Amino acid sequence: MSQKPAKSTRLSRLWLKSLLLLLLSAAVYVAVATYLNGEPEVMMSEIEPVFVSQCVTAPSSRVLDSEGRLRVGVWNIYKQQKKGWQQDLTELARRSELMLLQEAKLNAGFHQYLDGSSLHLVMAKAFSLLKSPVGVMNLATEQARDACAYHAVEPWIRFAKSTLISRYPLSNGQTLLVVNLHGINFDWQLKSYRAQWQQIVQKINLHQGPVILGGDFNTWRGQRMAYIEQLAHQLRLKEAVYEEDKRHRVFGLPLDHLYYRGLNLMMAESFTSGASDHNPIWAEFKLKPGAH
């Protein structure tokens, strides 16, 4: 008669130990993720080869466009995990003054790639893996005038996504505001997703010149896409229309986007790449007359 209560007690103790172990593991995971996220930090290759405070300013800068022409690439590079990323990135760089990368991992291989190029780097770190920063990155033919980094933490996995807001001088006397964003992915109610976007809405609203907004927005759901379209209307942004659209899709919806304001779109396309789980976007713009 006493065996059943004893067995029940053992099961209760086992269940309690399992629960405590699960809670401890979750606490350790959150602590590790928080440590790896750190604070929002930005790196600009012209200043120091280390991450500094949330915002940096360059000592001087030249115009980004080439005689009124501005060519822009957008690509989630998948932490350079697939073969051929160097070749595809080189080809994208060959035809661009500005590239907006997401999931860029600043490891030894990427440093080596940059050493062999004349590109200028600005990066907003999301988190670090084995001392290699991962986040969004601008590569450009000229350095940014200034840049700021922002964090948004994934509600479930607790790792951060980063946003980079930078400015570049243009030959028509205007300043180009560039927003490079990797959108929060695991947020069904979109509370954190909306909060991430609200970090940049005021910045775009206050800017008087042209705007480029691009990145992997993780718009795999109709509600997400509808929210971005609402913001674009509010901010007077237009989305690039692609002559050929090979953007990666989930549930039929594209994840990667390029929006603009205050520029004339000449052409845009998205082409396939085997070097990432996303396909690159490329567009050519022409500057509008500005104040000289």
What's the chain's average pLDDT?
89
Average pLDDT over every residue of 80-98: 97
pLDDT at 49: 53
Phi-psi category of residue 84: left, alpha or beta, with phi > 0 → left and psi -120 to 50 → alpha: left
Output the pLDDT for position 21. Answer: 67
pTM here?
0.87
7 vs 147, more confident: 147
- pLDDT average, residue stretch 78-106: 97
Tens-place pLDDT, residues 190-223: 999 999 999 899 999 999 999 999 999 999 999 9
- Check whether 35 has a pLDDT greater than 60: no
**Mean pLDDT in residue range 9-24:** 71
Average pLDDT over residues 70-85: 97
- Say what the pLDDT of residue 47 is: 63
- Report DSSP state, residue 272: -
Q: Is the pLDDT of residue 53 over 70?
A: no
Q: Is the dihedral of CA 273, 279, 280, 281 positive or negative?
A: positive
On the question of pLDDT at 127 being above 70, the answer is yes
Signed CA dihedral, 257, 170, 85, 125: sign only: negative
CB crowding 74-108: b at 16 or more within 10 Å, else e: bbbbbbbeeeebeebbeebbeebbbbbbbbbbbbe
The pLDDT assigned to 27 comes to 56
More confident residue, 158 or 89: 89
Give me the pLDDT at residue 104, please.
97
Higher pLDDT, 43 or 274: 274
pLDDT of 18 over the 90 cut: no
The Cβ of residue 252 has, within 10 Å, a number of other Cβ atoms equal to: 7
- 147-190 pLDDT, tens digit per residue, is 999 988 898 777 889 999 999 999 999 999 999 999 999 888 99
**Average pLDDT of span 53-61:** 81
d(CA 104, CA 126): 10
- pLDDT over threshold 80, residue 19: no
pLDDT of residue 81: 95
Reply yes or no on whether the pLDDT at 37 is more than 60: no
Mean pLDDT along residues 57-82: 94
Query: Which residues are CB-neighbours of 132 under 8 A, at least 6 positions away?
Result: 105, 106, 107, 108
Q: Is 175 exposed, middle or buried (0-12, 13-18, 19+ CB in 10 A)?
A: middle
Q: How confident is the model at residue 129 (pLDDT cuts 50, 70, 90)?
A: confident
- Give mean pLDDT, residues 114-124: 94
Tell me what pLDDT residue 32 has. Answer: 47
pLDDT tens profile 276-287: 999 999 999 999
For the segment(s) 40-287, the CATH number from 3.40.30.10, 3.20.20.70, 2.30.42.10, 3.60.10.10 is 3.60.10.10
